[in-house]
Amino acid sequence: MSKSMVGRQPILDKNEKLFAYELLFRSEQGNKIIDGEQATSEVISSSLESIGLFNLTQNKPAFINFTAPMIKNKIPEILAKESIFIEILETVVVDSDIIESCQELKAEGYKIVLDDFEFKEEWIELIKIADIIKIDFINTTPAQRKEILAVIRSKYNSQVKFLAEKVENHSDLEEAKKDNYDYYQGFYFTKPDIVSGKKVEPFSLSYNNIIKELNKENPNFKKIEKIIKQDLSMTYSLLRLINSAAYGYDINSIRQGIVLLGIERLKKWCLLYSFKKLNNQKPDLLLKTALIRAYFADSLKKYFEIKEDLFVLGLFSLINAYLDRDFEDILAQISLKTEFKEALISRKGKFGSILDIIEIYEKSNWKELKNYSFDTACVFADYLEAIEKGERFFELT
């Protein structure tokens, strides 16, 4: 049975912290739709009913595209004004009815976003009330972008915020920062982007020592306890995790907590904690994405009859973006299963397929699933569960 799905793309603020998600229509039929009304209707119905808006956005605002008829009929009023930004596509024909409807929605407290913006005279009244204007970094030149920003800021709306969309690389991000954009959106923040020649900190000796001990046939929990106690922030993080409702324990002893969590959970916690300390200049979203990948990768193993724990494979799939180094360079210094390394570097074998599937679901490119025989609806449910686990684990550590 065909099932509509919702794609989400993160939007970051100036500090590269998660600000919102743009929600996009996706389906298993290669995203083929009849019209814009159908697309937005599917997004709204999926957000409210089958998936849940909170599950999709983790209580962040949602940017949703609305067509001209939907704006004129005040369809956005179905959703709470605090939960959405109304995106008006560049394909909308702006007339007096559109302007009046947007002005009324604005007066009610809804936020107006102009998407894929190109300056046209008929858009001036919308520019005046817009909260955010999105500038496409692929289909405009740097000179065009500078001119748009200058004209709007000086003549029409000095309070409007600008969003740099389709930020694909580091140079795009640097330009957006230099020109004082308020928000960023693009594959640069979710797809690895390598910046050469940047100095990075190595893994902390503490984390290596713990993982080394956990990998032994008979780990020495007393030794692990001692290592953790030497790091105040690590101690706090572990106790917070163990005492959380997610695990249902109420303890005050590191030793007791270590035993209750067990080896596998300790490994995952230690890997996550080490990632958080590797490079504090990276956005939280990158770490969160890596954690979601870790949970999703481990859930996919049942479809490939894989027995290995794939958490580390998913987590390490973004280590190159986190350290701004090539996989080959990083993995040469890490003790990791050979097949995992081959998958991370060249996407070889069944583990490479796992990584491919993760990216397909991240980008909602469902037509690329035609080469796989599993139940896509079940896998999508696994992906949503991975998002939920990742969000919860991230908040607890």
Cα separation, 380 vs 151, whole angstroms: 44
Strands (E), 98-230: 111-114, 132-136, 161-165, 183-184
- Each residue's pLDDT, cut to its tens digit, for the chain (397 residues) gives 344 466 778 899 998 888 998 887 555 444 444 455 555 555 554 544 345 566 667 778 889 888 888 888 787 876 778 888 999 988 888 999 999 999 999 999 999 999 888 888 888 999 999 999 999 999 999 999 999 999 999 999 999 999 999 988 888 999 999 999 999 998 877 643 222 223 333 335 566 678 778 878 888 888 888 777 655 556 656 766 665 544 555 554 677 778 877 887 787 677 666 655 655 556 677 878 888 998 899 899 999 888 877 877 887 888 888 777 788 877 776 656 788 889 999 988 899 999 999 999 888 887 888 888 888 888 889 999 998 888 776 665 5
Give the pTM.
0.54
**CA 109 to chain CA mean position, Å:** 27
Residue 220 region, left (φ>0) first, then alpha (ψ -120 to 50), else beta? beta
Q: Show me where the domains of the chain are located.
A: 4-189, 205-278, 284-396
Domain 4-189 has CATH 3.20.20.450: yes
Distance of CA 208 to the CA centre of its chain: 27
